[in-house]
Amino acid sequence: MAGTGVFAEIIDGEVYKYYADGEWKKSASGKSVSIINPTTRTPQYMVQACTQEEVNKVMDAAKAAQKLWARTPLWKRAEFLHKAAAILKEHKNPIAECLVKEIAKPAKDAVTEVVRSGDLVSYTAEDGVRILGEGKLLVSDSFPGNERSKYCLSSKVPLGVVLAIPPFNYPVNLAVSKIAPALIAGNALVLKPPTQGAVAALHMIHCFHLAGFPKGLISCVTGKGSEIGDFLTMHPGVNCISFTGGDTGIAISKKAGMIPLQMELGGKDACIVLEDADLDLVAANIVKGGYSYSGQRCTAVKVVLIMESVADAAVEKVKAKMAKLSIGPPEENCDITPVVSESSANFIEGLVMDAKQKGATFCQEYRREGNLIWPLLLDHVRPDMRIAWEEPFGPVLPVIRIGSAEEGVHHCNASNFGLQGCVFTRDINKAMMISDAMETGTVQINSAPARGPDHFPFQGLKDSGIGSQGITNSINMMTKIKSTVINLPSPSYTMG
């Protein structure tokens, strides 16, 4: 169970501690933050409300620990990460339990997230040894006008202290996707977990603690965004920020200053369906892509742009598959579980009511009980409806009928988002042309949008983010180039 056994030291009474300088601590504030169970809508856990002074201490400890860690041999850093990965996977069940209770993730998917996270950490260790173990040699006489008198040796070195801020929907996996690259690259890591998902993240951090990482190198601070949010992101001790979430990231990027930023800020992922598409494949991917984890994924299908001539047939196939989705609590491994909060459910309902008022066709009756929203497909959606452009982050999917592929691409590119998209067609030439035209970080051909496998590049354009994720890209992003130039005397004679 969560907070017991090897995890007993991370909780004090009913309040989970924060992690700093290699120890689990209670905040001097004496305050805590409640975490509401999305299913029961009652308090489930409590975490420490850390103070700004405690953040300062964390940053000082991180800076000191990072200097020593950067001198730790690369193979040794990898050993620590492999050990953490093994411990994480060993304790997958109590961490998954937290995911079920904090964010209403279906139980089987919660276990999968933890196991996937362990695999990500191990892969990062291996990839980091390869990437960071290589340097580069340049010689001066390759540039016109120069003799062979200078040798430049360059290698990748750590940035310093990385601040990692993952989102509620993958608080373990999207945390380790930042933690592992930062650590293998020689950085220190400060984690600010989301409120919903904080306890799962604290359990995950304890796995790194059990792996024996040096004190101060890894920290995890919890608390109210109003108290420590801006203080963390604008802290002079932070040398890099990796953030996944919503438009809060735009505000962070404006305040952060001259440090590297890795931002993934959501999407309105379009699914373009052409006349020659395999409609059974289309329906399966729309349901999987649009409704998995109740649509609470940045890479969920958010709008279907389908050719009018095949729309009726495709919609019927989607409706048939939707009818088979199970709806209920995450403990029962239901396909559709409650969305993360009441405010989220209210926002989704607002989009639905706007579409109803403006004449969208409801393929199912709209139904909501608390935070649980039944899956809904909205047909004949028009561009003047909010749902055509806004990201619901819930189990509601709009269908816009189009007359040409160009019309679909135009709608996709008119969005302020540009994370992922997909196109369904049997014609690879059309698929490639549409992919080239879509202003998104990734285009999937004949499959729903997805993040992963975790070593694939993952990036967004426009308001969907800056920088690129994926294991290799994250390692590179969390390092900088250091060059040393050897200057030789100008040759006065020729040897030999």
Are 337 and 39 in contact by the 8 Å Cβ rule? The answer is yes
- Asked whether the predicted pLDDT for residue 176 surpasses 90, the reply is yes
C-alpha 5/C-alpha 222 separation (Å) is 22
Element (H, E) at 153: strand 150-158
- Asked whether the predicted pLDDT for residue 228 surpasses 90, the reply is yes
* Mean pLDDT computed over 156-162: 98
Q: How confident is the model at residue 117 (pLDDT cuts 50, 70, 90)?
A: very high
pTM over 0.75: yes
Among 283-297, 452-466, 482-496, which is the least confidently predicted range? 482-496
Please, which residues bridge with residue 240 across strands?
162
Q: How confident is the model at residue 493 (pLDDT cuts 50, 70, 90)?
A: low
Give percent above pLDDT 70 in the chain.
99
**Residue 126: active-site member:** no
Number of Cβ within 10 Å of residue 42's Cβ equals 8
* Mean pLDDT computed over 189-195: 98
Q: How confident is the model at residue 143 (pLDDT cuts 50, 70, 90)?
A: very high
Give percent above pLDDT 90 in the chain.
97
Residues 97, 102, 113, 264: which is the catalytic one? Answer: 264
Res 490: pLDDT: 72
Dihedral of alpha carbons 469, 19, 102, 211, sign: positive
| CA proximity to 264, closest of 73, 447, 411, 452 | 452
* Mean pLDDT computed over 313-342: 98
Res 247: pLDDT: 87
In 245-383, where do the E strands start and end? 261-264, 270-273, 303-307, 361-362, 368-369, 372-373, 376-379
Are 314 and 273 in contact by the 8 Å Cβ rule? The answer is yes
Q: How confident is the model at residue 496 (pLDDT cuts 50, 70, 90)?
A: low
482 CB-near residues (< 8 Å, 6+ apart): 154, 155, 156, 157
pLDDT, tens digit (0-9, with 9 covering 90-100), for 403-458 = 999 999 999 999 999 999 999 999 999 999 999 999 999 999 999 999 989 999 99
Nearest 5 degrees, angle CA 173-CA 178-CA 183? 120
